[in-house]
Amino acid sequence: MFRIGYGCDLHRLTDGASLRLGGISIPFNKTAIGHSDADALLHAIADAALGAAGLGDIGEMFPDTSEENRGRDSGEILALCLAAVEERGWRVVNLDCVVCAERPKLGALKQVMRDRIAGILGVSSDCVNVKAKTGEQVGPVGRMEAIEARAVILLERNNERA
Ligand code: MG
């Protein structure tokens, strides 16, 4: 028995020194604005996982009105979402992600993000795919006003827990 889930996220960019994305910090002249650490990719993955398990969305679990979530590490948020998914008797088969960013160039960082995400989810890196696209210099992404991420995830019944 399988379940699929989809998640997407967007964060505005402002002048800064580093960008949090895919669970890693990337030196960059802009940073993402958000209540937590504003990691759009981990938020999209968390929403995909919650969605697949029928558990609502990340905003319900981690409200942006909560002081506890201010500046919070999204790796911790994703780990807690995964724990909730596993508690319902599901485990991750694989996920595929897209990051839309005009800059920084992410080619060399895709594998680092895959390894980090796989570590958080407790799966091997070949179960996590990260793709990078630019905004072709148009729209909020292309003008470097925002960064976007999308993720699709497949879960299967964990018979060891059932
Ligand atoms: Mg977000």
Instruction: Give 140-154 pLDDT, tens digit per residue.
Output: 999 999 999 999 999
| Ligand 1 center to 50 CA (angstroms) | 14
The amino acid at 9: D
CA of 32 to the centre of ligand 1 (A): 10
Q: Give 67's DSSP letter.
A: G
Question: For the CA atoms of 119, 10, 44, 22, what is the dihedral angle to 10 degrees?
Answer: -10
- Cα 39 to ligand 1 centroid, rounded to whole Å: 6
CB hemisphere CA count around 155 (13 angstroms): 26
The model's pLDDT over 24-80, given as tens digits with 9 standing for 90+, comes to 999 999 999 999 999 999 999 999 999 999 999 999 999 888 888 888 999 999 999
CA of 36 to the centre of ligand 1 (A): 8
Q: What is the mean pLDDT of residues 119-131?
A: 98
Structure pTM? 0.97
CA of 147 to the centre of ligand 1 (A): 10
